[in-house]
Amino acid sequence: MKIIRFHATPEGESRFQEIEVPIDQPRPNSSGAVLLQSNAWPSPGVRFVELPAGLDQPWHPAPARQIVMVLAGVVEVETTDGQKRRAGAGQAFIADDLTGRGHSTRVIDGPARVMFVELPDGFDVTRWSA
């Protein structure tokens, strides 16, 4: 499964990176089927948020390292090099630009409902990278 990560560069800018999350851990269920799943990790916090229609949030760093899962609507993120990526229902970003100028966020189709899943301290998101 691919997730788009945006992160800070040493120069204080932000960039996108595609992360491959392996879904390769087998787990049998009660009916005998084998489900494939990713590795699990503990989360310090999970929140559901509604972003209003027309939200145009200027440059800001992420408040925490977190996965942002779009549940409804369409959210667009822009990095400082001018690249833009959109995510709709069922798609996710990894917000990982805690320093520097950050990113901008827009609600393209909204309101948008999102789930924020904080990553624990020391979590190495790049271990998923293909």
Mean pLDDT of the chain, nearest integer:
93
- Predicted confidence at residue 35, as pLDDT, reads 94
25-28 and 14-20 strand pairing: unpaired
Domain ranges of the chain: 2-23+35-128
pLDDT digits (tens, 9 = 90+) for 26-64: 999 999 999 999 888 889 999 999 999 999 999 999 999
Q: Is the peptide bond before 111 cis (omega within 30 degrees of 0)?
A: yes
Q: What CATH fold (topology level) applies to the domain 2-23+35-128?
A: Jelly Rolls (2.60.120)
129 confidence band (pLDDT: 50, 70, 90)? low
Closest CA to 119 of 69, 45, 61, 38: 45
Percent of the chain, pLDDT > 90?
Answer: 83
71 confidence band (pLDDT: 50, 70, 90)? very high
pTM: 0.89
In the predicted model, is pLDDT for residue 106 greater than 70? Answer: yes
